[in-house]
Chains A and B, each alone.
Chain A
């Protein structure tokens, strides 16, 4: 049989999952990776840890230096795919070259989205906070006197704030939303986190947005002015779907994929932040732009591309993030009619959300020990009635499960 030709567009977490997935089935196929960034694979969420000094550009490599060599991949650095032809099975590149494929994975990720704001183009020191290059440019630009304005109090904006805290004069974070981390936290939890961040010197201006910029002034909708030297825009991201959309593939907000990570085009798969899929905790289709999902989707795509059998059908939104030593974990989803179990002590919160006899979501702030037991309850859609849930809700532990389950997990029985 001819050697199979694989092309992967992207060189992030999903792409690495895809390579490892392919290689778990096919040791000899030819893998070509198109990497727009001129960098060995690193994990983007680490850029804030880099600014904080918790990692460096060497340590933050997601796989060892010899990864591509060992997996026999040809990486085209600094190159972009500009269009796909699903019938001819070709990818047109920005350098004029054309690549042929038998099987393709689009792992093109997402791009920062900056809504148009008047005068933004006049701001000289303006940064996104997405790539390693963004982080390195920001690091170069800041001084101990910098007044930094961050637009966006989501995961990216707040991790950026933490990363540069202590290295700049002041940090102000503004967001149109009334609370921080509005995509994962409710008002009460957000208030706990905001208080903690404020105690570390970060100023918030929430429920507010910029109406106009001068070079170093943001005129806010509520009439206040913020003077700044450095602007970071972290409003949100948009999935990079153009390649598939223009090739006629099905897309919603992101690329539509099956449980096998296949797009609607023959022999074309997609994985990671550019895709949308079913959140099993709610049953709705979502863009779950999360590292663990990206890897698992990529791996699943890779196995299927190489002729193996794999499905990834239990994705849920989940996040583990820390700010100045306090950890926040969230997983799953909830609705207004979810039943809630709640514990709050100073600075520590636990909220579990139940519906239809199942745990569907949680938020933990502070004590996050063994949180994965809750996450597994959500992913595996275990019924609450099968276990000692009264015990489990107080403290996650295998003790809440029956002896048979424990025997299977711990004793290798069955």
Chain B
């Protein structure tokens, strides 16, 4: 399965991935309207300091603790991608308690959100990868 891989040696720490993620998942087809003057809740987040930076998003683990721990059945594996059914999620945050990478986050209003590889939004493929200026984030089969 194709997954998102990150190489911290190439990451510039520009945070563009966060903006592209928030835009792709906003459901709005105008970047300015989607992002300007708004707090963004990206599903990929840049960590680090002035020396080292890298972006963290869901690893789509083959044996995902979040799915096994989800109390509502909202998290599931669909063709290898770990997806969240917002309709079923009750916001208990057990997934955040168990994700070893800190890759599951809360979005606006405290709802749980996570990377679904942009397979369900208009982008169709990871927007963070498409917009990364230095190929620090790549989407491929390994």
B-contacting residues of A (Cβ < 8 Å)? Answer: 13, 17, 43, 45-46, 49, 54-55, 59-63, 291-292, 295-296, 299, 318-322, 325, 327, 329, 331, 368-373, 375-376, 380, 396-399, 403, 406-407, 409-412
- Inter-chain CA distance A21–B91, complex, in Å, is 26
Beyond contacts A60-B88, A292-B65, A295-B68: 13 other A-B pairs, Cβ-Cβ < 8 A, are: A62-B73, A295-B69, A318-B97, A321-B92, A325-B110, A327-B93, A369-B105, A370-B96, A373-B100, A376-B100, A399-B47, A411-B8, A412-B142
Contact of B5 among A54, A61, A412 (CB under 8 A): A412
State whether A55 touches B97 (Cβ < 8 A): no
A residues within 8 A CB of B55?
Answer: 410
A–B Cβ pairs within 8 angstroms, 27 of them = A43-B71, A43-B72, A43-B73, A46-B72, A46-B90, A49-B90, A55-B72, A59-B87, A60-B88, A61-B73, A62-B73, A292-B65, A292-B69, A292-B98, A295-B68, A296-B69, A320-B94, A329-B96, A373-B100, A376-B100, A396-B102, A398-B47, A398-B56, A399-B48, A399-B49, A410-B54, A411-B7
A residues within 8 A CB of B91?
Answer: 54, 322
B residues within 8 A CB of A318?
Answer: 97-98
State whether B72 touches A62 (Cβ < 8 A): yes
Which residue from chain B places its CB closest to the CB of A45 in the assembled complex? Answer: B71
A291-B8 contact in complex given A373-B100, A409-B59, C-beta closer than 8 Å: no
Contact of B97 among A375, A403, A406 (CB under 8 A): A375
Contact of A331 among B8, B49, B97 (CB under 8 A): B97
- Inter-chain CA distance A31–B142, complex, in Å, is 36
Expressed in whole angstroms, the minimum distance between the Cβ of B41 and any Cβ of chain A is 12
A412-B56 contact in complex given A60-B72, A399-B47, C-beta closer than 8 Å: no
- Inter-chain CA distance A45–B90, complex, in Å, is 10
A291-B49 contact in complex given A322-B92, A373-B100, C-beta closer than 8 Å: no
- Inter-chain CA distance A46–B92, complex, in Å, is 9
A-contacting residues of B (Cβ < 8 Å)? Answer: 3, 5-8, 47-49, 52, 54-56, 59, 65, 68-69, 71-73, 87-88, 90-102, 104-106, 110, 142
- Inter-chain CA distance A55–B86, complex, in Å, is 11
State whether A299 touches B3 (Cβ < 8 A): no
Contact of A372 among B3, B8, B54, B98 (CB under 8 A): B98
State whether A63 touches B73 (Cβ < 8 A): yes
Which residue from chain A places its CB closest to the CB of B100 in the assembled complex? Answer: A376
A residues within 8 A CB of B95?
Answer: 372
A residues within 8 A CB of B87?
Answer: 59
State whether A45 touches B92 (Cβ < 8 A): yes
B residues within 8 A CB of A321?
Answer: 92
- Inter-chain CA distance A62–B110, complex, in Å, is 22
B residues within 8 A CB of A327?
Answer: 93
Contact of B96 among A368, A399, A403, A407 (CB under 8 A): A368
Which residue from chain A places its CB closest to the CB of B69 in the assembled complex? Answer: A292
- Inter-chain CA distance A43–B5, complex, in Å, is 34
A residues within 8 A CB of B49?
Answer: 399
A410-B8 contact in complex given A329-B93, A398-B102, C-beta closer than 8 Å: yes
B residues within 8 A CB of A62?
Answer: 72-73
B residues within 8 A CB of A407?
Answer: 8
A296-B97 contact in complex given A43-B73, A369-B102, C-beta closer than 8 Å: no
State whether A369 touches B69 (Cβ < 8 A): no
State whether A291 touches B69 (Cβ < 8 A): yes
- Inter-chain CA distance A46–B106, complex, in Å, is 19
Which residue from chain B places its CB closest to the CB of A397 in the assembled complex? Answer: B47
State whether A291 touches B94 (Cβ < 8 A): yes
B residues within 8 A CB of A17?
Answer: 68
State whether A329 touches B56 (Cβ < 8 A): no
Expressed in whole angstroms, the minimum distance between the Cβ of A331 and any Cβ of chain B is 7
A372-B99 contact in complex given A320-B92, A412-B142, C-beta closer than 8 Å: yes
For the complex of A and B, 8 pairs with smallest distance between CB atoms: A370-B102, A292-B69, A376-B100, A372-B99, A62-B73, A320-B97, A410-B6, A49-B90
A372-B90 contact in complex given A46-B71, A292-B69, A411-B7, C-beta closer than 8 Å: no
Contact of A322 among B48, B69, B93 (CB under 8 A): B93
